[in-house]
Amino acid sequence: MKRLWMSLFLGTAVGIFSVSAQEEAKFSDNLLKNPSFEEGLNHWAVPGWMKAKLLEPQVDSAILQGGGGGSLRFKGEPGKHAAVTQTVTLSGKEKEYKLTAFIKTSKLTGGWTAMMVVECFYTKDGKEQFKQFMAATPWNKPELDWTPLTLPFTPPENTNRVRVWLRMTSPNGNEKPDCLGTVWFDNVSLVKKLIPPPVKSASLQKKKQVNILPGAPDFGNFRTPGWLKDTMEPAEKGTRLVFKGIAGKKGYISNTATPPQLDVENYEFTVNVDNKSRVKGWVPAALIELVSVKEGKTRFSYAHGTLSPDGKSFRIKAPNLPELTQLRVILGTTACPAGFTGDSGTISFSDPVLSVVCQKNNRIFLEKITPVLLGGVYKPDEEIRLNLRVFSGTPENAKVRLEYDVQDFFGKSVVKGESKEEFPACEFVEFPVPLKKWDAPGYFVVKCRLVTEKNEVSEKTAAVIVAPYLEKADPYFSMCHFGFPAGYFPAARRLGCGSTTLTLYRIHVEKNEGSYDFSGVEKTIRLAKENDMELFGHMPIYGYDYAMDPAWLNPRKKEMSQKGFTEEYYDALRKYYAACVKQVGNRVTTWSYVNEIDLSNHSTPNEEKHYVRGAHLFYNEVKKQNPKLPVIGLCVSGVDSMDLFPYAKKLLPRIKDALDGIGPDAHVIPCVYGPGYLPISEEKGKFRETMIELKKLAGPGKIISIEEKGYQSVSDIPFDHEALKKQAAVMVRGVILAKAFGSIRWVPHYAVHNGVSKTDYGMWRLDNPRPILAAYAAAARLLAFTKDPIEVLPMTGIYSYVFERSGKSVAVLWTTEDSPVSTTLSLPGDAVVCNITGNRTVFDSRITQNPVYIESSLAPKELAERIRNAKYSMPRIAGEILFSSDAGFTVALLNKSTAPIPATVAASPGGTRTLSLPGGKITEVFFPLKHALKNGDTITVLTEAGPEKYTLKKTVELTAVKKLANVKLDGSLNSFKGVEPISMNQARDLLPVDAAANKLWTGVDDLSMKVYLGYDEQYFYIGAEVTDDIFTVRKSGNNLWAQDAFQISFDPPADAKNDALVPAGYDSNDWDYAFGEGTKGPEVFCYKAENDNPDFRLKSLPYPLVVRKVSPTVTRYELAIPWKGIAPLKPVRGSIFGFNLGYFDADDGFPLYSMAFTGGTTNGKNPYLYRKFILSE
């Protein structure tokens, strides 16, 4: 009768295969802890009063339901049954609950079943009572594969807790008769049916929960890591993610989300599942990898997915961990059995949503604004819509006022508006806001404010670009592949970009040795064709274990990079090149083989040899298959190009027969734009000189290209910040210079940056275009397909380039002066003038750092002549006073005009000189003194040129360097006895200047030091005692600086001039070193040597160096530099020289900041900034 009663109960109250209309209802999170036994039996208990008759529960890691790490297993024993329990406290007003578990049974006998029981404890008439609900598997089905068992129940009034039982039991509810079968439980859930929320207002209805997963609901941003083995690519990856089983392979694909900067309670991920697997054990899986970084160390933790009772969706709840930097959503399958053959069926996913549960903090916070159109590049007269994301931490719905003000590039307001909005309690939501249409091109910043009823304000800015669409875009204006998602192709094309990179990373193409997968390559080719953009091939050639090489290859490369690469390796490399070139065919306009070899050649002993051999192999394969296709190489970095290519010139003879052109990554540094930073312009960073030298280096008949060029921004500054506008002007001037000197393209670096950072290279930030893109779009339209440039330099600091297009002139004009320059330039009557953002404007006879474009039917030579002969209201002479010895001083004068200027120079003290200043050149005049210069002396120089008068004044400020005797380098610093140290222990000593504000530096225990200087007839000595809480050693050679290490620079004759006279950077007599404890021991590495000593450059040098740890946080350094290593400086008393010393601190995993005497070494090269020293007795 008991068996009959239980069967009737199950048949009427419980559905074993529980798919019903109730699934449409919304339920709470799982109230049970450790529901999938990932933590063993933690939170589950064996009832103590029954323990003698209960068998020991086990966790089975081999038999699972839906992936994960374990299931609960009861294995029958004679005379015993089984049970575990967990008690849950109930709260809230909900009345309907549901207990569900997935159950598997094997070889059950005697009517034994798997059972779930819920005991409800409640109070009635002052007494505690309890009531039971139960459900079990059918007694006549001893063999069940994973089957959901569901128990809905309504606890009695005043129930305060329930006890959940998972049991393996006989028909009598005990251990008799014996049963030796097995029962498994997995993915147990106890949920309550949530009370539906009230009907939303119209304002609430347009708010939807934010999905922070990039690219969702599409799966295009999901990737399979190249380092993983035994994984299979999905059969489909679009609006659905589809896997088909492959024997021995598992599905694994991930997408990384950045945690929003909010008060987050936790994260929730849901995804729909369609499991049509036909293979036993091949099931879907889902988890989130949480990446945290603390004190420079990366930590990983995991949140596992729970499959819904109907098997149609996964849900993951992930905690908001301290220092969380990434949430990596991983979807896939368990491994398909190795012996499987036939049709596996499919496992599919759809509609992935990663949402945020907000903390209750009574705040309304405007988190982000983005254009609805991805990339924010609109055509004239297109409706502009913004998407606002708002964090609502109020316990109840909140009403606010939304205000917005749209301003153009120059800060002029073009439209304002406001609306009343309502936000739901404790949700992170987004909603659209429509703006007016614009018919004129330009850059527009939208300033939004949310104002609460308590007058609390939250503000954010967004940005859009309006740009006329070019039916055919000039491929000179390119877009890099770095940070360039597939979805941004249309935005780049709308900007006017006519080309982009086709990169063949081996990690994607040859994930498995000898097997090539060009699906990603073909996707890029398809996207480029759809957007009418040309492609240029990009082939990396790296000898060290490169991050974009596959996991099977890098261990071999790591060994061979030290011992030498084998012919077998090169043969496989040639075959790889051949396959890539064949696949791509003539669908690229050029090929480039890339590696900033001037930097990487010191990474391994065989890097340079590998590069040269690889270059020839690749070049030969291209020419074999497509002889007319140009190949570009020697892609050295900005470090080399700013120094006018010393390393490139050295390497060129070895690869000149393996290239048709040269394409440097010609960054000009420093290039960080934002508060406290001092970036250098293209002109003052010698980019024009770089282009001239590049043409000479390439030689006649060769092509040149700017293969990468980037500009950094402080990440969190608003889009209308003046620093970003300055960045836009500098960048577009570089674009113009490169085009004027014959570059076939300009490839900016980097496209989209949405991650958490202090600075970044992104041209799009948080999916909003920065001003740099508006300037690029204007140039791409106004200079498209221009040719035959004429350079016009009417004065130093005035730049103009006149191009020809379709019989018309297109001129660009700007100045590098800080203040606007007035001009008498008369424009032709038909001239059309456009500003930096491409909008038509009126030429007001003033020139600024923002280029203006002038188009006219006047012939290019005639327009160039007008610009050349116009007058410009700026000083014709600039000057500088230089101290190179205590015996006198030098006056350097630059004639900014093109014609000679007669001048009288009167120095006090020093006397008067009359001379002629040649046009466009610097004249130096030395004034000897009767008495030696000393600190506090002031030199005044008056230069008269006709009616113009120019006054220079400079006060002597020198630090004495004492001569030493009997020097012994032993780490004690005793040889510097009597030397006054230079102390660095304050925030003012830091670079960048915001290092303390960003908590990179936390005080003297984090980093501080005392520096001692001295000399004798043989050496210049540097001693230092450094306090550093975390001593990091991880580099050597060329990368020695990229850790805890010193970098030092010398301007031996102290002849560096300010950037009003010459571009910043090193000249022929400057030196640059790093020294410290490297991975190979104490090391001194020379980056820049005097031109007369080229053998010193880019080498580790055997200078005497002692590095001594005197405590866990204190290190002493003693270095002796021979005088030849800082020539032409000699050990002569009274000699004056420029010197700088900086120390990098790598606490946060990378040397994000330094402590230095001055700028000009660790943050870009500018010897003019160096502190001046004098050799004394």
pLDDT digits (tens, 9 = 90+) for 573-606: 999 999 999 999 999 999 999 999 998 888 889 9
76 Cβ contact list (under 8 Å, min separation 6): 55, 82, 112, 168, 178, 179, 180, 181, 182
Residue 15 has pLDDT above 60, yes or no: no
Q: For the chain, give me the number of helices (H) and strands (E)? A: 15, 71
Residue 22 has pLDDT above 80, yes or no: no
- The interaxial angle of helices 607-625 and 567-584, nearest 10 deg, is 40
CATH of 959-1175, one of 1.10.150.240, 1.10.760.10, 2.60.40.1190, 3.20.20.210: 2.60.40.1190
Residue 493 has pLDDT above 50, yes or no: yes
Query: What are 538's strand-pairing partners?
Result: 503, 592
Check residue 907 and give its pLDDT: 96
Categorize the per-residue pLDDT at 923 as very low, low, confident or very high, splitting at 50, 70 and 90: very high
Residue 998 has pLDDT above 90, yes or no: no
| C-alpha–C-alpha distance, residues 166 and 1030, integer Å | 52
| C-alpha–C-alpha distance, residues 491 and 497, integer Å | 9
Check residue 199 and give its pLDDT: 59
Give the homologous superfamily in CATH for domain 2-192: Galactose-binding domain-like (2.60.120.260)
Dump pLDDT digits (tens) for 1091-1144. Answer: 888 889 889 999 999 999 999 999 999 999 999 999 999 999 999 999 999 999
Check residue 17 and give its pLDDT: 27
| Neighbouring C-beta atoms of residue 314, cutoff 10 Å | 24
Residue 339 has pLDDT above 90, yes or no: no
Categorize the per-residue pLDDT at 425 as very low, low, confident or very high, splitting at 50, 70 and 90: confident
Check residue 1148 and give its pLDDT: 60
| Neighbouring C-beta atoms of residue 242, cutoff 10 Å | 18
Kindly state the tokens that stand for 188.
């147990």
Check residue 202 and give its pLDDT: 65
What mean pLDDT comes out for the span 268-278?
94
Dump pLDDT digits (tens) for 698-733. Answer: 999 999 999 999 999 999 999 999 999 999 999 999
In the chain, CATH 3.20.20.80 covers 478-785
Residue 3 has pLDDT above 50, yes or no: no
What mean pLDDT comes out for the span 877-886?
94
Residue 7 has pLDDT above 50, yes or no: no
Check residue 715 and give its pLDDT: 93
Q: What share of the chain in percent tops pLDDT 90? A: 74
The architecture of the domain spanning 790-869 is Sandwich (2.60)
Categorize the per-residue pLDDT at 230 as very low, low, confident or very high, splitting at 50, 70 and 90: confident
Kindly state the tokens that stand for 218.
């599409």
- How many CA atoms, within 13 angstroms, populate the side-chain half-sphere of residue 880? 18
Check residue 25 and give its pLDDT: 58
SS3 string, 506-562, reads HHHHCCECCECCCHHHHHHHHHHHHCCCEEEEEEECCCCCCCCCCCCCHHHHHHHHH
Say which range, 137-146, 189-198, 292-301, 676-685, has the weakest mean pLDDT.
189-198
The architecture of the domain spanning 877-953 is Sandwich (2.60)
For the chain, how long is the longest CA-to-CA vector? 126
Check residue 10 and give its pLDDT: 28
Give the containing element (helix H, strand E) for 402: strand 398-408
**Which amino acid is located at 773 in the chain?**
L
| C-alpha–C-alpha distance, residues 392 and 425, integer Å | 6
Dump pLDDT digits (tens) for 138-153. Answer: 999 999 999 999 999 9
Residue 14 has pLDDT above 70, yes or no: no
Dump pLDDT digits (tens) for 540-576. Answer: 999 988 888 998 999 999 999 999 999 999 999 999 9
DSSP symbols for 208-219: EE---STTTTS-
In the chain, CATH 2.60.40.1190 covers 959-1175
Say which range, 294-308, 412-426, 1021-1035, has the weakest mean pLDDT.
294-308
Check residue 203 and give its pLDDT: 67
Of residues 123, 205, 118, the one with CA closest to residue 160 = 123
| Residue 704 Cα distances to 666, 788, 899, angstroms | 12, 16, 33
Give the homologous superfamily in CATH for domain 478-785: Glycosidases (3.20.20.80)
What mean pLDDT comes out for the span 839-864?
97
pTM, entire model: 0.78
Residue 452 has pLDDT above 70, yes or no: yes
Categorize the per-residue pLDDT at 996 as very low, low, confident or very high, splitting at 50, 70 and 90: confident
CA dihedral 883, 884, 889, 894 (to 10 degrees): -80
Residue 305 has pLDDT above 90, yes or no: no
Check residue 201 and give its pLDDT: 62
CATH of 364-466, one of 3.40.50.300, 2.60.40.10, 3.40.640.10, 1.10.3720.10: 2.60.40.10
Dump pLDDT digits (tens) for 796-825. Answer: 999 999 999 999 999 999 999 999 999 999
Of residues 946, 1013, 943, 921, the one with CA closest to residue 973 = 1013
Give the containing element (helix H, strand E) for 612: helix 607-625
| Neighbouring C-beta atoms of residue 657, cutoff 10 Å | 10
Cβ burial of 1113 (10 Å; 0-12, 13-18, 19+) is middle
Dump pLDDT digits (tens) for 162-206. Answer: 999 999 999 988 888 999 999 999 999 999 988 776 555 666 777
In the chain, CATH 2.60.40.10 covers 364-466, 877-953
8-state DSSP, 987: G
| Neighbouring C-beta atoms of residue 323, cutoff 10 Å | 12
* Residue 741, helix vs strand vs coil: coil
| C-alpha–C-alpha distance, residues 278 and 735, integer Å | 58
Say which range, 211-225, 904-918, 1073-1087, has the weakest mean pLDDT.
211-225
| C-alpha–C-alpha distance, residues 739 and 751, integer Å | 21
CATH classification code of 202-358:
2.60.120
Dump pLDDT digits (tens) for 46-104. Answer: 998 888 889 999 999 889 987 677 899 999 999 999 999 999 999 877 888 999 999 99
| C-alpha–C-alpha distance, residues 94 and 880, integer Å | 81
